[in-house]
Amino acid sequence: MSTHAVGGHAATARSASGTRRSGDGRDRLFRRSVTGVVIALALLWLVPIAWALDTSFKAEPDTIKIPVNWAISHFTLSAYSTDFSASDIARWYINSAIVGVIVTVLTVFAASMAGYALSRQSFLGKRVLYVVILAGIMIPPQALMVPLFREFQAVHAINTYWALILPQVPAPIAVFIFKKFFDGQPIELDQAARIDGASWWTCYRRIALPLARPAVAAVSIFTFVWTWNNFLWPFLAATNQTMMTIPVGLGTVIPGTGITNALQMASAVLGALPLVMVFLLGQRQIVEGVAGTGLK
Amino acid sequence: MAEMSLKGLCKRFDDGTLAVDDLSLEIGDGELMILVGPSGCGKTTALRMIAGLEEISEGELWIDGEMVNYLPPKSRDMAMVFQNYALYPHMTVRQNMSFGLEQAKIDKAEISRKVDEAAGILDLTEHLDRRPGQLSGGQRQRVAMGRAIVRDPKAFLMDEPLSNLDAKLRTQMRTELARIQNQLGTTTVYVTHDQIEAMTLGDRVAVMRGGVLQQVASPRDLYERPSNLFVAGFMGSPAINLFRARVERETLSSPLGEIPLDRRLRDALGQAGHAETVVVGLRPEHLMDAAITEPPHEGAVAFSHDVGVLEAMGAEYYAYFDLPDQPGMDVADTAHDPDADPAGQRQGKQLIARLPIDSEVREHKPIELWFDPGRLHVFHPESGERLSDVASEPHGR
């Protein structure tokens, strides 16, 4: 009787540990599969970047050799020196930085205030206004280029910072992000501040905005990156070399004929370099910001 | 300090819900007025209207002789303590407490002095440089209080300020709160759903139900002379026993036996018109164990019943008795609200007695009990309104 019982317990224990082992095996397989997929996706993204970097250090004739070869037979910085010598690249960097920073500051300021008002205030036409703003997300920016160009041309603002900055400030998606973020903040904080004697402006500036740091970080990063990389509008709004931003200016360095692979890749690297540096410096805040707002 | 006068306040939300219906209330200078009632009774909405956080749909709100319906919250000079404290998480305790004073453009040295003084009263001096996230629940609650008292406002508005604390801390903070309010003598409107908080803290208690004020009275009056079945059921823990009794010629025929009609009961029944039944209420502490206490006079009604469930509470027993089903005699048919029964008793179907711990009561054994008919509360069978007055000097007391 007792032997039987012991055997029974042992069998149960074995079966439990067997289940655990098979569960562990499934977990391990799942983890490995996920890692494999992540590595494959990372390669898909990284290979073109590595290829651009690799090509930018080659002489032009080496870039079209068949079979395609990663090895650099003659390391040269000639593509970079062409970019620097044949252009006003320092000026373009400054222009991009000015436009990027001002657009980012204005976007965060305007969108957060709009988001706060939509989240906390009640006013006539609020719903309609919100729907109109949301509809703005659906309109492709390209559709607005010609009317915008006409508008700025009419006020003689082409080739000015105003033309480069103002059309890039209204960002419906940023208003949406801020509104959603403020919706998630306890309304009692604002109410406590209002009873404490604060105006709406003080509630926004001293309570709501400091608590919306993740949203501010995410919107700032994405606005800056988008503005830095934006090509079409600056291409239309800045025809004068001295007003060009990096993506537009570097495009003018590349001649229309001949082999220009190395030059094109060097230009791409130079254009992306400041963003990579910004990312490396603010990696933690960027990741937190993206995680905090669910943006990607 | 301030006097408040609520004159027929109504709050109708956009969806048509009438959250507060014709609320009229006079709150005296330095008084601690409690608004109590079950969830959704409109007590918080009423408080928010006083604070200026909700627009007043109808009626008038007067503070110190000034009609303030259209004044924004910041101009009403009130301080509010929220249920979740609403402390600014990115600010230190000192910054939290200073915020209101900064808005009033008070001199920095004066702000610092006031904050230090309030922190001293609330035992927060050591925590002034910490943020709310680094504090315990009780400390956060004290910071919320500190933020209110540092401003020295006309009135404090408190929206269930203790409900996020555990039971022990809640009792401790309740005493603390009463002490501070007493010390400062500031007019206070305090919202709670906890009738024990209401009974222990309030100078007067306003009981609300479905947006309508049911009764305003001192805690003792509310307990001893509830104006209707709802108030009777809501105030008191365990809840009052309610059962129907049939009106006979010389007696009330109840599940507890024949209750002789004295003058008081006859007067009460006179107000009930030609009702065949009335609803009778009896507090659990007014059921006596005959083995310990002798009925002092002939008028007492004695009965014997089997004990159902018995709960030993340490200092006393809660003994539950099942009453026989009486078709057509269900208390739920009256205006009594089952939500207002905090003990979850099946009113009219179960009886509860609070007996001393030295009682010989045992589960599933019969026990002899008695009660003084002078302690009975009689309510109208349909409207649920009070018909009787409890005898000021009950027999044998």
For A45-97, how does the pLDDT look when each residue is reduced to its tens digit (9 = 90+)? 999 999 999 999 988 888 888 777 787 878 889 889 888 887 788 899 999 99
Give the pLDDT of residue A218.
86
Percent of chain A with pLDDT over 90: 51
Q: Is pLDDT above 50 for B333? A: no
CB atoms within 10 A of CB B273: 9
Q: How far apart are CA A247 and CA A234, in angstroms?
A: 9
Give the pLDDT of residue B36.
95
> Per the omega criterion (within 30 degrees of 0), is the bond before B373 cis?
no
Percent of chain A with pLDDT over 70: 89
Q: How far apart are CA B57 and CA B70, in angstroms?
A: 11
Average pLDDT value for residue range B193-222? 93
Q: How far apart are CA A250 and CA A265, in angstroms?
A: 11
Compute CA distances B385 → A103, B65, B69, B381, whole Å.
Answer: 68, 34, 33, 8
Average pLDDT value for residue range B78-84? 92
Q: How far apart are CA A246 and CA B345, in angstroms?
A: 77
> At CA B228, angle to CA B304 and CA B271, rounded to 5?
85
- Beta-carbon contacts of A292 under 8 Å, excluding residues fewer than 6 positions away, are A214, A215, A217, A218
Give the pLDDT of residue A17.
57
Whether residue A3 lies within 8 A of chain B, CB to CB, comes out as no
Q: Is pLDDT above 70 for A198? A: yes
User: Testing the interface with A: which of B49, B76, B88 to mutate, by most A Cβ within 10 A?
Assistant: B88
If you average pLDDT over every residue of chain B, what do you get?
87
Backbone angles phi, psi at A241, to 5 degrees: -50, -40
Q: How far apart are CA A284 and CA B197, in angstroms?
A: 48
pLDDT-derived band at B354 (thresholds 50, 70, 90) equals: very high
Q: How far apart are CA B86 and CA B81, in angstroms?
A: 8
Give the pLDDT of residue B55.
94
Q: Which residues of A touch B80 (CB under 8 A)?
A: 191-192, 195
* Shortest CA distance from A200: residue in chain B: B74
What domains appear along chain B, each with residue ranges and CATH number?
4-224 (3.40.50.300), 239-379 (2.40.50.140)
pLDDT-derived band at A181 (thresholds 50, 70, 90) equals: very high
Give the pLDDT of residue A71.
79
Give the pLDDT of residue B394.
44
Give the pLDDT of residue B347.
60
* Shortest CA distance from B87: residue in chain A: A189
Nearest C-alpha of chain B: how many angstroms from A211? 7
- Which letter does DSSP use for residue A198 in this model? -
Of these ranges, A98-107, A120-129, B386-395, the one predicted with the greatest mean pLDDT is A98-107
Q: Give the strands of the sheet with B350-356, arranged side by side.
A: B310-312, B316-322, B350-356
For B23-76, how does the pLDDT look when each residue is reduced to its tens digit (9 = 90+)? 999 999 999 999 999 999 999 999 999 999 999 999 999 999 999 999 999 899
Q: Do A191 and B74 touch (CB under 8 A)?
A: no
For B305-320, how does the pLDDT look when each residue is reduced to its tens digit (9 = 90+)? 899 999 999 999 999 9
Q: Is pLDDT above 90 for B81? A: yes
pLDDT-derived band at A1 (thresholds 50, 70, 90) equals: very low
Nearest C-alpha of chain B: how many angstroms from A143? 39
Q: Do A194 and B74 touch (CB under 8 A)?
A: yes
Q: Which residues of B touch A194 (CB under 8 A)?
A: 52-53, 72-74
* Shortest CA distance from B99: residue in chain A: A196
Q: Which residues of A touch B83 (CB under 8 A)?
A: 188
Q: Which residues of B touch A188 (CB under 8 A)?
A: 82-84, 86
Q: Where is pLDDT greater, at B323 or B242? A: B242
Whether residue A189 lies within 8 A of chain B, CB to CB, comes out as yes
Range with lowest mean pLDDT among A129-138, A284-293, B245-254: A284-293
Of B53, B72, B99, Cβ closest to residue A196: B99
Q: Is pLDDT above 60 for B391? A: no
Give the pLDDT of residue A293.
60
User: Testing the interface with B: which of A188, A191, A195 to mutate, by most B Cβ within 10 A?
Assistant: A195
Q: Which tokens sit at B133?
A: 């996230």
If you average pLDDT over every residue of chain A, what do you get?
86
Q: Do B103 and A189 touch (CB under 8 A)?
A: no
Give the pLDDT of residue B345.
46
Give the pLDDT of residue A284.
79
Give the pLDDT of residue A72.
80
Q: Do B73 and A192 touch (CB under 8 A)?
A: no
HSE, side-chain direction, 13 A CA sphere, residue B380: 14
pLDDT-derived band at B256 (thresholds 50, 70, 90) equals: confident
Average pLDDT value for residue range A229-250? 91
pLDDT-derived band at B115 (thresholds 50, 70, 90) equals: very high
Q: How far apart are CA A112 and CA A36, in angstroms?
A: 40
Average pLDDT value for residue range B156-183? 87
Average pLDDT value for residue range A197-211? 94
Q: Which residues of B touch A199 (CB under 8 A)?
A: 74
Average pLDDT value for residue range B100-106? 93
User: Testing the interface with A: which of B76, B103, B189 to mutate, by most A Cβ within 10 A?
Assistant: B103
Q: Is pLDDT above 90 for A22? A: no
Nearest C-alpha of chain A: how many angstroms from B70? 14
Give the pLDDT of residue B25.
96
Q: Which residues of A touch B151 (CB under 8 A)?
A: 196
Average pLDDT value for residue range B342-361? 76
Whether residue A15 lies within 8 A of chain B, CB to CB, comes out as no
Q: Which tokens sit at B74?
A: 């910041």
Q: Do A196 and B72 touch (CB under 8 A)?
A: no
Whether the complex's predicted ipTM is more than 0.85 is answered with no
pLDDT-derived band at B342 (thresholds 50, 70, 90) equals: very low
Range with lowest mean pLDDT among A105-119, A177-191, A266-280, B97-111: A266-280
Average pLDDT value for residue range A4-28? 59
Whether residue A68 lies within 8 A of chain B, CB to CB, comes out as no
| CA-based R_g, chain A, Å | 27
Q: Do A192 and B84 touch (CB under 8 A)?
A: no
For A46-58, how does the pLDDT look when each residue is reduced to its tens digit (9 = 90+)? 999 999 999 999 8
Give the pLDDT of residue A296.
46
Q: Where is pLDDT greater, at A242 or A282? A: A242
Give the pLDDT of residue B3.
93
Q: Is pLDDT above 50 for B12? A: yes
- Beta-carbon contacts of B222 under 8 Å, excluding residues fewer than 6 positions away, are B199, B205, B207, B215, B231, B235
Q: How far apart are CA B61 and CA B47, in angstroms?
A: 11
Give the pLDDT of residue B395.
43
